[in-house]
Chains A and B, each alone.
Chain A
């Protein structure tokens, strides 16, 4: 055998390569190749024929079409990116809050945890689409459903806005808060995994720290900000990234891209759209990662 002549280190590195081979094959064939092809498609006009497909190079036309000619893509894109930007802080806040709540000792904690993580297993696009279709069926029209959704959940929002405005809070902040209340169901059902991650982080904080703080006379509020928050802060970045990635699957942009490809058969345009989306999302991720990683406390 040749193996016997190799040094231990060489052998180890070959073995390591053997371990990652399945992944590497998958990566090369199912990720890297499609990724490059996708760039190529976005720059060409693709026609499907029985024996395969033909490409015709058209330059940046697809990108122009997506941004300037397509009637709805611009709006949907900006809408879902703003929605993502709005949802991320709310989900973070809610999940950290729930995690601290679930980390305390009280009767029925196991049950409460079980219920809080229930959305993790029920977050299915199939179910939500079937549900909205059932509702459409009931009312007869999709636009009515949308209106119903907003009116049903915002019936007493005005009084709250007035109240908050009377206190003297800035209007934009009030808008944000009311938005959060209107979408509370969305937020709760989207924060299952985030709560899980925060909870695990909270449990890894040594309890001796809290004991010391208590002896020194720190209040619960102080020990939250001085101990809990810094200790879980590395996970905030993780959760932000997870939330953003999670928002891909249900977002309207993905549906639009899917429909452009498989309903209207415009594969080039669809690829261009998805690249615009990818670029915007990665820009957001880079900015958030840069801002947050400077403030995070690593121990």
Chain B
């Protein structure tokens, strides 16, 4: 907006300028809406398509006149996708896994972040540089050793010492993810430590000094004074950790390729759908019977929608905290 530079005695000219400014403003806001709606459309379109496909009956697949809104509404696709995925047990399982790892990650990262932010122990900066290193090294570098490590898990040879075995095979259990998240080295944990450290660094030192004078020890100060004040970074970390953990395929397919977790099941959905749809439709089990590929694609889309619906619901509930918490968690500055 330009400031109107009115000449006091020339009212007409002033009015003209005001009108011009107003049109420019209106044009600009129309342009802005067009832009925002356009971009929003690009983002939302795949989601809308999935919704429309989910309720489409099979008769509608080959009807070219249908756009988005199906003629024959049906819940068949959803039912079928749910049977193939074994949906509710799978969802419960996944949510439990994700919640546990998220809580552990947030706790361990908060501890480490506070430790790095507030205590001057020898090597603080060097150790923190190592945290940054864990963010920067691609996970594929650590993949093979980690896999072998969890294949015969053993801390300092203790298991070997007591049982004489070569360690415990932890693959296809939840332990690899639980161990890595409890020790703040799991999925993008370095980033979370960084967020917590930045936030705790920005908090006034006087609070802690007052707590110290009042006789609170370091642990008590952390639990009762620092943590209740650290809501913004906790929200940020919990949100991102939850979402990334829910969507992660790399670690889950590396350590838990046979567990029933959402990302793994979704990735193998198409093979399963091809196998199961003929028998679900009751047209036979033999290998010669093949489902209509369009129908399979429809069921896959429905399955994907079922997988992301919990996230979308969660997002609708908490989305207003997204910006606020990132803004206040001190990543900036």
Contacts and interface: CB of A to CB of B under 8 A. Distances in A.
A116 B43 contact: yes
Contacts, number: 281
Contact of A101 (B32, B43, B315): B32
Interface of B: 1-3, 29, 32-33, 35-36, 39-40, 42-44, 47, 108-109, 111-112, 114-116, 118-122, 124, 127, 130-131, 134-149, 152, 155, 166, 179-180, 182-185, 193, 218-219, 222, 243, 246-247, 249-250, 254, 262-264, 266-267, 269-271, 274, 293-294, 296-297, 300-301, 303-304, 307-308, 311-312, 314-316, 319-320, 322-323, 326-327, 331-333
Q: Which of A26, A112, A119, A274 has the most CB of B within 10 A?
A: A26
B36 A129 contact: no
Nearest to B114: A19
Given A16-B115, A200-B332, A275-B141, A26 B43 contact: no
Interface string A106-127: 1000101111111111111111
A177 interface: no
Contact of B120 (A12, A46, A133, A267): A12
Contact of B32 (A38, A106, A138): A106
Interface of A: 9, 12-20, 22-27, 29-31, 33-35, 37-38, 41, 46, 48, 51-53, 98, 101, 104, 106, 110, 112-127, 129-131, 133-138, 140, 184-185, 188-189, 196-197, 199-201, 203-204, 214-215, 217, 219-220, 234-235, 238, 241, 245, 248-249, 253-254, 257-258, 261-262, 267, 270-271, 274-275, 277-278, 281-282, 285
Nearest to B243: A121
A133 B270 contact: yes
A119 B319 CA distance: 12
Given A16-B121, A117-B319, A185-B42, A29 B155 contact: yes
B144 A267 contact: yes
B323 A200 contact: yes
Given A200-B323, A200-B331, A130 B311 contact: no
B113 to A, nearest CB: 9
Given A113-B323, A197-B332, A245-B135, A118 B144 contact: no
A204 to B, nearest CB: 5
Contacts of B293: 137-138, 140
For the complex of A and B, the 6 pairs showing the least CB-CB separation, nearest first, are A16-B119, A26-B183, A19-B115, A34-B145, A124-B247, A26-B185
Given A52-B166, A115-B40, A138-B293, A13 B122 contact: yes
Q: Is the interface of B mostly helix, strand, loop or mixed?
A: helix
A287 to B, nearest CB: 14
Given A123-B247, A129-B267, A278-B138, A138 B115 contact: no
Contact of A16 (B118, B247, B322): B118
A123 B131 CA distance: 25
B323 A131 contact: no
A24 B86 CA distance: 39
Q: Which of A104, A138, A281 has the most CB of B within 10 A?
A: A138
Nearest to B109: A23
Nearest to B118: A16
Contacts of B141: 35, 38, 271, 274-275, 277-278
B112 A19 contact: yes
Contacts of B303: 130
Contacts of B254: 258
Contacts of B146: 30, 34
Contacts of B247: 121, 123-127
B297 to A, nearest CB: 4
A282 B183 CA distance: 25
A289 to B, nearest CB: 10
Contact of A138 (B39, B180, B294): B294
A121 B3 CA distance: 41
B126 to A, nearest CB: 12
A44 B60 CA distance: 58
A13 to B, nearest CB: 4
A196 B308 contact: no
Contact of A112 (B40, B42, B135, B183): B40
A278 B137 contact: yes
Contacts of B155: 29
A137 B270 contact: yes
Contacts of A37: 145, 148
Contact of A258 (B122, B124, B143): B143
B322 A196 contact: yes
